[in-house]
Chain A
Amino acid sequence: MIDKKWIGYTGPEVRFDIERGRLRFFAQAIGESNPIYVDQDAAQAAGYRDLPVPPTFLLAADLDSNELFSTLARMGVSLGKILHGEQGYTYHRPICAGESVTVRSRISDIYDKKGGALEFIVRDSTVSNASGELAAEFRSVIVVRN
C-alpha cells in the first residue's frame, strides 16, 4: 500500500518550453489534420499567436521532465502496475508555440478500493504562462493494480 504521507506532496516546479515541431509531431501522432495545429499562418488567421497547444498536450510537461514517473517510483509504484483512471482539463488562457510554461503538481488524494486491490492517486496540476498567469489546470487519477 502507498504511504498516505504522500498526500499533499508538491513536486518541484517544471518548466516546459512549447515547441512548434513537437506540436506538429503530436498532431501527426493523433491524426489531427486541422491546419491550425500544424501551419503557423492558419493558426494566426484563426486568431492564435502561433500553433495552439491541443487540448490534451500539457501532460507532456509532466512526462518529459519525468516528474510524474519519478514521483511514482519514489512512492514504490512500478510502471507495469499503473493504469490511467481519469483525466480532466480546465482552460483559462490559450497557450501557443514559443511560450514557456511552469507546471506545479500536488498529490491531493490517495485512496483504495476492493480491499486495497486497487489504489488511486489523485494529482492536481496548474500551468502558468511566462507572465505568471494561470493558463490551465489539469487533474490526473492514476490507478495502481496491486
Chain B
Amino acid sequence: MVEQHAVINVGDAIPELQLPPVTRTTLALFAGASGDHNPIHIDIDFARKAGMPDVFAHGMLGMAWLGRLLTAWVPQSQLRTWSVRFLGITHLGDRMTCSGSVVEVFEEDGERRAKLEIKACNQDGDVKIAGDAVVALP
C-alpha cells in the first residue's frame, strides 16, 4: 500500500500482481461468484459448438485481478474511476501478470489524484487487457 504523503511521480510503477495459471476450476468458481454463467467459459461442448477450441477466461476475471492490483496500492475508497479494454482472450494455462504505472499527477475536486495506466499480460507478454484508472492519493 502506498504510504501517506508519499512522493508519487509520473513514471512510477506500482507493485505487480502475479496470478497462478488459469484452470477450469478458476473459471467454474468465477462463473458462480460473478453470476456470469455463460457456458462458453465453463462447458467445452458449448465452446466448441460456438467455434472456439476450448473454454476461455471471463474478461471480468482479468478485470477483477486488475482491481486487486489497484486496491493493493490504494484503499478501494480512493478509487474514483477506471475502465479497461479487453484486447485478447485469456486462455487456460495462461499465467497473468497485472502491472501499472503513473502517467499523470493532478488536482481535481480538491484532492490530489494520479492517473495510472494498467495492463494484464500473459507469460509471453501478450497484453490481454489494458486500461486506465484514476485514484485519489493519500
Contact = CB atoms under 8 A, between A and B. Distances in A.
Interface in B75-127: 75-77, 79-86, 89
A31 B19 contact: yes
Contact of B85 (A28, A52, A86): A86
Interface residues of A, number: 38
A103 to B, nearest CB: 12
Between A52, A60, A84, A94, the greatest number of chain B beta carbons within 10 A of the residue's beta carbon is seen for A84
B36 A63 contact: yes
A25 B70 contact: no
A59 B35 contact: yes
Interface residues of B, number: 44
Interface string A85-107: 11111110010000000000000
Nearest to B86: A84
Contacts of B63: 56, 87
A88 B64 contact: no
A57 B63 CA distance: 10
Contacts of B60: 56, 59, 84, 87
Given A30-B68, A55-B82, A80-B51, 17 more contacts: A28-B29, A29-B29, A31-B68, A46-B75, A52-B76, A54-B64, A55-B64, A56-B60, A63-B36, A80-B50, A84-B58, A84-B59, A84-B86, A86-B85, A87-B59, A88-B131, A91-B81
- Ranked 9 nearest A-B pairs via Cβ: A88-B83, A80-B50, A63-B35, A84-B59, A29-B33, A55-B67, A60-B35, A29-B29, A90-B81
Interface of B: 19-20, 26, 29-30, 32-40, 46-47, 49-51, 58-61, 63-65, 67-68, 70-72, 75-77, 79-86, 89, 131
